[in-house]
């Protein structure tokens, strides 16, 4: 046996090395390095293995077993451990640390020297008694253990000692305990430590569930499924599970627990919500701060209780803010005529934090005074008094009262209520007004007369209202098509007792009624008056020139809007009209037999469909004798020659200013045809906002096209020269003119393709007219046009993406261009997209960028521009929609007051834009959701503004007579989205 001092010193050093690495998924059954007392292991024979116990620096024992009978043959030395309890183990691991000497390093050893030893085990239920004889055959072999490293010798002859660590699996073990045995057959071994352990998955908390210590299966390929138990104050969502793997690792977490009400997760635990916060629902959410006007004083609150004077309605969720009854309605006024008494008020200042505000109207008759006390005696009003729409639960801020008695003092109490009214002891929120029915008299607006009517307009007047309780603010004229039975009504205001109502349909009977707005509110409406517009004549559109003047008073300044509708001046060209009528008839029979659109508008005929284009010129343009033309000066240059101004004097007619486009000499036939092509297009149009063709000179040189003269020239240069000089309303008037012209062209089926401010001409009255009808030629001619990938020449900045990409021109691609023209107008002729290259314009449009609102641009107008620039062409408005939207803006100039620059955040791309409604009246709204049939129901129930419908509930919808469930749903969901939009708009200060 080797037991030199050097070797023992080495062993003492090992004592500090062989401590337990302390892994948490191991349960140690035996560790010889931690046993403080005697190990009491047995050796057979007694002089085989040698037990040595040394003390380390900390005075802890180091138990070592050595054997080294390498010189003697036939060695069979056994070392047996004490009895080791199995505990929960099923598979046991034995970790041995030892040194084993290399036989070659031992001088003079014969063949008896070995370099391995054997590990055995024996399972028993109980420890063997001391008397039990050691029988090697009782032990089962685990393995032969060899050294990875052994004593070796350096070149200098020093021995280097290496420590081996070997782990063997023992088992499965099933009895209560077992022994280990080490057999030496002639090696030189120092067994430094023996550690016996088994693996288990240690108890853990995952997803708020606790999983206990778990021993893996003996079969290393199968997992143990373990169900977790929720931590305190948590509840199961899905059964929490983990699987314990053979190596003591937890695998595959499934299911989870969540914190119960009043508790929230923190550091793997469910902690109680602090006072001032609450959690009403179980789940892994945080505790929330108590909503407004509520508080919680205890830990783990599941609800915050309302502060004094604040309540929650039964239908309110326990998580919403507490609210209180509203304050009283304001500005309660009464108006009376001979049959009806109207009460109007404005909503209370304090809505109590709720949106479900309703009003109840209570009535008392206070006729006499008590003889003794002198106190006014009041009694409930007569039960047959009729309230329209009803006395209680009103959602609008007005009510009409019928069947009242005359010469009576009525006192009306208007109560504001909301979902929490009546829940506490708060006083009722009342506003009172006393009405003396002596005042009842005739309607305040006298007889309404028709002064004149044209195809599209009717002028009305009525006597100035008299005997009004307070000053007149203005008159409101409501009108609708009689046949439509009030399905769609419009209204306009005027300061004078007269108005010209425009935008009407020819040969149509309209119903009008008028009321007065005074400082104290509205009077009753006048009776209905029915007047018809003039009949339509396809060629003689209207008689004379009508100037429509709408005066509007906005916030203390007056704006004069001049919308001049030029209609064909007759007489001047009677013969010409007759000549055209013939060709018109011919054309219709030839190209569109029997096809005249219902609006009575003609259909455009492409001159290219004529075999001989000269024939198209003959058909649509009048030949003018050149001697009638007096050229005065050159005003510009066109592609084919100069543009001049001059006068046209047709005998028997007043001479007129004209512009004359000339075809320069030396042209080839194709150029002549291209030049005259524009005349054959223009000659088909007859609209006050389309440049009018006077005629052509083709039978002599130079060939000329003569058109009406537009004093202010092209719109873009005109605006640039007059930067900042117009009111918004004047600019809108210009846009309206262009929209009228474009509506006409699109109705005729003509696609312009080059709509841009440079192609709009402006006359001395600021009337804008669409010009430049060259189509393909125009695009060649236009300096803005650039070649596209498809080879066409296109004015990129003005053109819709689908037209640039695939040449898909349509009336809605013209709408895109119209949006750009709007932008040019509002920016006084700024170049769209400034100095960006055409390529960059195309890319940025594709990425969703759109021109921002020019300085001083009303939100409504930029909103309309963005609609025109919808990427999806079918989502763009049609020209008639654009036109009616502009008309509504003009009628409600307050809608132009909010400028984009005033808003904090305003989208600059149609993609980012909330769905702003492109409508202003209830009628428009119902049209937009295809529920037009209910216009009457809304109007009859007193819903006249979008604001008033925004608070409607399902019950209100039922109450006004909408019975089909599908329709109720459609209307309600539209109201809900409208409510959001109105809220958004009101937040940004935009008036509807």
Q: Give catalytic status of residue 763 as yes or no.
A: no
As measured in angstroms, the least distance from the Cβ of 648 to ligand ACK is 12
Q: Which listed residue (184, 754, 763, 772) is catalytic? A: 754
Q: 172: cis peptide before it, omega within 30°?
A: yes
Which of 356, 686 has the CB closer to ligand ACK? Answer: 686
Q: Is 302 in the site for ligand ACK (CB under 6 A)?
A: no
Q: Which is nearer to ligand ACK, 641 or 923 (CB)?
A: 641
Contact pattern for ligand ACK over residues 590 through 629, marking x by CB under 6 A: ----------------------------------------
Near ligand ACK in 665-704, by CB under 6 A: 691
Given a contact cutoff of 8 angstroms between Cβ atoms, the answer to whether 698 and 613 are in contact is no
Neighbour count for residue 381 (Cβ, 10 Å): 20
Site track 648-667 with ligand ACK (rule: CB under 6 A), x = hit: -----------x--------
642 is in an annotated binding site: yes
Q: Are 658 and 706 in contact (CB under 8 A)?
A: yes
Decide whether 477 or 691 has the Cβ nearer to ligand ACK. 691
Distance CA 831, CA 827 (A): 9
Residue selected from 7, 151, 198, 709 as contacting ligand ACK according to rule CB under 6 A: 709
Nearer to ligand ACK, 717 or 953 (CB): 717
**In a 10 Å sphere around its CB, with 0-12 CB exposed, 13-18 middle and 19+ buried, how is residue 810 labelled?**
middle
Q: Binding pattern to ligand ACK, positions 281-300, x when CB under 6 A?
A: --------------------
Spatial separation of the C-alpha atoms in residues 61 and 59, rounded to whole Å: 6
User: Are the beta carbons of 753 and 681 closer than 8 angstroms?
Assistant: no
Residue 177 in marked binding region: no
Among the candidate windows 581-589, 635-643, 745-753, 840-848, which touches ligand ACK by CB under 6 A?
A: 635-643
Quote the Cα angle for 793-795-800, to 5°. 105
Q: How far is the CB of 677 from ligand ACK (least distance, A)?
A: 16
Q: Which residues contact residue 440 at a Cβ distance below 8 angstroms, ignoring those fewer than 6 apart?
A: 336, 337, 338, 339, 341, 404, 406
β-bridge partners, 768: 762
661 labeled part of a ligand binding site: yes
Find the shortest distance in angstroms from Cβ 658 to ligand ACK.
8
Q: Give residues 753-772 in contact with ligand ACK (rule: CB under 6 A).
A: 761
Give the residue carrying structure tokens 């130079």. Answer: 702
Contact 311, 423 (CB under 8 A): yes
The answer to the question of residue 707 lying near ligand ACK (CB under 6 A) is: yes
Q: Is the CB of 62 or the CB of 760 nearer to ligand ACK?
A: 760
149 a known binding residue?
no
Answer for the pair 696, 706: CB distance below 8 angstroms, yes or no.
yes
Angle at 410 between CA 405 and CA 416, to 5 degrees: 130
The SS3 assignment for 26 reads strand
Nearer to ligand ACK, 192 or 658 (CB): 658
Report the C-alpha gap between 197 and 31 in whole angstroms: 8
Nearer to ligand ACK, 266 or 637 (CB): 637
H or E element that contains 15 = helix 5-17
Instruction: Work out how close the CB of 834 gets to ligand ACK at its nearest, in angstroms, rounded to a whole number.
Output: 21
Q: Torsions phi, psi of 899, nearest 5?
A: -95, 150
| 643 contacts ligand ACK (rule: CB under 6 A) | yes
Q: Is 714 in the site for ligand ACK (CB under 6 A)?
A: yes
Minimum separation from the CB atom of position 657 to ligand ACK (A): 8
Of the residues 253, 446, 638, 702, which one makes contact with ligand ACK according to CB under 6 A: 638
Pairing of strands 521-522, 509-518: antiparallel
Nearer to ligand ACK, 710 or 865 (CB): 710
Helices (H) and strands (E) in the chain, counts: 17, 53
Which region, judged by CB under 6 A, interacts with ligand ACK, from 70-78, 197-205, 547-555, 708-716?
708-716
Question: Contact region for ligand ACK (CB under 6 A) — 159-167, 397-405, 630-638, 694-702?
Answer: 630-638
Token duo for residue 486: 């009030």
- Which residues are within 8 A (CB) of 372 and not within 5 positions of it... i.e. 6 or more apart? none
638 is in an annotated binding site: yes
SS3 136: helix
* Residue 401 annotated as binding site: no
Min. distance of Cβ 538 from ligand ACK in angstroms?
25
Nearer to ligand ACK, 326 or 641 (CB): 641
How many Cα neighbours within 13 Å face the side chain of 607?
Answer: 27
Of positions 202, 245, 391, 713, contacts ligand ACK by CB under 6 A: 713
639 is in an annotated binding site: yes
Residue 253 burial (10 A CB sphere; 0-12, 13-18, 19+): middle
Closer to ligand ACK by Cβ: residue 691 or 822: 691
371 is in an annotated binding site: no
Q: Which stretch binds ligand ACK (CB under 6 A): 445-453, 559-567, 705-713, 725-733?
A: 705-713
Q: 443 vs 225, 337, 341, 437, 920, CA distance in Å?
A: 87, 6, 11, 14, 28
- DSSP, residue by residue, 403-455: SPPSS-EEEEEEEEE-TTTTSSSPPPEEEEEEEEGGG--S-SS---EEEEE-S
- In whole angstroms, the minimum distance from the beta carbon of 645 to ligand ACK comes to 6
Rounded to 10 degrees, what is the CA torsion of 101, 106, 110, 112? -20
Helices (H), 869-921: 879-891
Per-residue binder mask for ligand ACK (CB under 6 A), 505-534, x = binder:
------------------------------
- Per the annotation, does 125 bind a ligand? no
* Residue span 715-734 as binding mask against ligand ACK, x where in contact by CB under 6 A, dash where not: --x-----------------
The reply on whether position 631 binds ligand ACK by CB under 6 A is: no
Q: Is 635 among the residues that bind ligand ACK (CB under 6 A)?
A: yes
Nearest residue to 603 (alpha-carbon basis) of 617, 622, 588: 588
- Closest approach of Cβ 694 to ligand ACK, in Å? 10
Q: How far is the CB of 577 from ligand ACK (least distance, A)?
A: 21
**Chain-centre distance of CA 704, in angstroms?**
55
Query: Which 455-514 positions form the footprint of ligand ACK (CB under 6 A)?
Result: none
Q: Which range in 326-334, 395-403, 633-641, 951-959 contacts ligand ACK by CB under 6 A?
A: 633-641
Number of residues that bind ligand ACK (CB under 6 A): 13
| Cβ closest to ligand ACK, residue 333 vs residue 676 | 676
The secondary structure of 473-486, three-state, reads EEEEEEEEEHHHCC
Going by C-alpha positions, the residue among 17, 82, 30, 14 that lies closest to residue 195 is: 30
Burial zone of 216 (CB within 10 Å; 0-12 exposed, 13-18 middle, 19+ buried): buried
CA angle 684, 686, 692 (to 5 degrees): 90
18 token code pair: 């062989």
Q: Name which position in 172, 636, 961, 989 contacts ligand ACK (CB under 6 A).
A: 636
The answer on whether 641 is annotated among ligand-binding residues is yes
SS3 of residue 834 by DSSP? coil
Q: Does 275 bind ligand ACK (CB under 6 A)?
A: no
Binding-site residue numbers for ATP are 635-643, 661
Binding annotation: 635-643, 661
Which stretches of the chain bind ligand ACK, using CB under 6 A?
Answer: 635-636, 638, 643, 659, 691, 707, 709-710, 713-714, 717, 761
User: What is the set of active-site residues?
Assistant: 754
């Amino acid at each position: 046996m080797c037991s030199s001092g050097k070797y023992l010193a080495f062993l003492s050093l090992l004592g500090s090395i062989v401590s337990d690495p302390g892994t948490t998924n191991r349960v140690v059954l035996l560790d010889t390095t931690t046993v403080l007392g005697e190990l009491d292991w047995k050796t057979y024979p007694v002089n085989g293995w040698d037990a040595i116990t040394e003390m380390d620096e900390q005075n802890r024992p180091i138990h070592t077993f050595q054997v080294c009978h390498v010189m003697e043959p036939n060695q069979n030395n056994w070392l047996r451990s004490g009895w080791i309890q199995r505990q929960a183990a099923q598979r046991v691991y034995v970790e041995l640390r030892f040194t084993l000497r290399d036989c070659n390093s031992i001088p003079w050893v014969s063949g008896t020297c070995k370099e391995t030893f054997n590990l055995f085990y024996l399972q028993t239920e109980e420890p063997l008694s001391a008397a039990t004889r050691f029988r090697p055959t009782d032990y089962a072999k685990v393995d032969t253990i060899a050294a990875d490293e052994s004593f070796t010798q350096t070149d200098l002859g020093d021995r280097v000692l290496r420590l081996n660590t070997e782990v063997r699996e023992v088992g499965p073990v099933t009895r209560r305990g077992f022994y280990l045995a080490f057999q030496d057959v002639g090696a030189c071994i120092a067994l430094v430590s023996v550690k016996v352990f088994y693996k288990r998955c240690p108890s853990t908390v995952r997803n708020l569930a606790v999983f206990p210590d778990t021993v893996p299966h003996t079969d290393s390929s199968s997992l143990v499924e373990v169900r977790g138990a929720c931590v305190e104050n948590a509840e199961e969502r899905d059964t929490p599970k983990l699987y314990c793997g053979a190596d003591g690792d937890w695998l595959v977490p499934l299911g989870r627990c969540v914190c119960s009400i009043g508790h929230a997760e923190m550091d793997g635990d469910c902690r109680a919500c602090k006072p001032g916060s609450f959690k009403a629902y179980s789940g892994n959410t945080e505790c929330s701060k108590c909503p407004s006007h509520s508080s919680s004083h205890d830990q783990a609150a599941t609800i915050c209780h309302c502060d004094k004077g604040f309540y929650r309605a039964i239908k309110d969720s326990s998580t919403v803010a507490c609210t209180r009854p509203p304050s009283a309605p304001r500005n309660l006024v009464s108006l009376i005529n001979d049959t009806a008494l109207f009460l109007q008020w404005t909503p209370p200042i304090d809505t109590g934090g709720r949106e479900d505000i309703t009003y109840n109207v209570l009535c008392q008759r206070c006729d006499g005074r008590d003889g003794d006390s002198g106190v006014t005696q009041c009694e409930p009003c007569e039960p047959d008094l009729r309230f329209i729409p009803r006395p209680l639960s009103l959602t609008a801020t007005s009510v009409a009262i019928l069947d009242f008695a005359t010469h009576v003092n009525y006192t009306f109490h208007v109560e504001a209520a909301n979902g929490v009214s009546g829940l506490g002891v708060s006083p009722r929120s009342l506003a009172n007004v006393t009405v003396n029915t002596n005042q009842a008299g005739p309607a305040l607006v006298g007889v309404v007369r028709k002064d004149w009517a044209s195809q599209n307009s009717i002028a009305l007047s009525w006597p100035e209202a008299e005997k009004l309780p307070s000053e007149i603010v203005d008159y409101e004229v409501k009108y609708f098509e009689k046949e439509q039975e009030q399905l769609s009504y419009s209204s306009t205001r005027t300061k004078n007792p007269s108005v010209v109502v425009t935008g009407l349909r020819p040969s149509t009977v309209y119903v009008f009624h008028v009321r007065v707005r005074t400082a104290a509110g509205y009077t009753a409406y006048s009776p209905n008056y029915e007047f018809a517009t003039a009949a339509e004549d396809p060629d003689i559109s209207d008689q004379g020139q009508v100037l429509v003047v709408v005066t509007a008073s906005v916030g203390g300044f007056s704006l004069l809007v001049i919308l001049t509708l030029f209609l064909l001046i007759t007489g001047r060209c009677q013969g010409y009209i007759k000549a055209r009528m013939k060709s018109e008839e011919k054309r219709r029979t030839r190209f569109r037999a029997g096809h005249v659109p219902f609006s009575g508008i003609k259909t455009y005929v492409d001159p290219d469909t004529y075999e001989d284009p000269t024939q198209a010129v003959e058909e649509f343009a009048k030949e003018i004798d050149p001697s009638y033309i007096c050229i005065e000066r050159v005003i510009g240059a066109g592609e084919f020659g100069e543009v001049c101004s001059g006068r046209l004097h047709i005998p028997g007619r007043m001479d007129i200013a004209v512009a004359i486009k000339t075809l320069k000499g030396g042209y080839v036939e194709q150029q002549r045809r291209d030049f005259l092509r524009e005349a054959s297009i223009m000659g088909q149009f007859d609209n006050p906002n389309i440049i009018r063709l006077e005629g052509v000179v083709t039978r002599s040189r130079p060939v000329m096209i003569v058109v009406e003269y537009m004093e202010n020239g092209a719109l873009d240069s005109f605006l640039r020269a007059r930067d900042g000089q117009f009111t918004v309303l004047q600019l809108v008037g210009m846009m309206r003119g262009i929209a009228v012209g474009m509506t006409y062209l699109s109705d005729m089926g003509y696609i312009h393709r080059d709509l841009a401010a440079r192609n709009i001409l402006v006359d001395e009255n600021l009337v804008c007219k669409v010009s430049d009808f060259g189509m393909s030629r125009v695009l060649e001619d236009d300096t803005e046009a650039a070649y596209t990938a498809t080879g066409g020449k296109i004015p990129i900045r003005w053109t819709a993406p689908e037209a640039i990409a695939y040449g898909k021109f349509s009336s809605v691609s013209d709408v895109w261009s119209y949006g750009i023209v709007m932008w040019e107008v509002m920016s006084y002729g700024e170049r769209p997209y400034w100095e960006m290259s055409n390529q960059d314009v195309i890319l940025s449009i594709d990425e969703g960028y759109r021109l921002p609102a020019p300085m001083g641009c009303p939100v409504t107008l930029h909103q309309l521009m963005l609609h025109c620039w919808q990427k999806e062409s079918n989502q763009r408005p049609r020209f008639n929609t654009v036109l009616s939207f502009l008309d509504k803006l003009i009628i409600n100039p307050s809608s132009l007051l909010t400028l984009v620059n005033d808003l904090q955040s305003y989208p600059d791309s149609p993609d980012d834009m909330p769905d702003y409604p492109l409508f202003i009246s209830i009628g428009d709204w119902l049209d937009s959701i295809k529920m037009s049939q209910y216009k009457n129901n809304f109007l009859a129930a007193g819903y006249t503004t979008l604001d008033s419908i925004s608070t409607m509930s399902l019950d209100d919808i039922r109450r006004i007579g909408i019975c089909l469930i599908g329709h109720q749903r459609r209307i309600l969901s539209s109201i809900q989205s409208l409510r959001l939009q109105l809220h958004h708009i009101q937040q940004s200060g935009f008036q509807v």
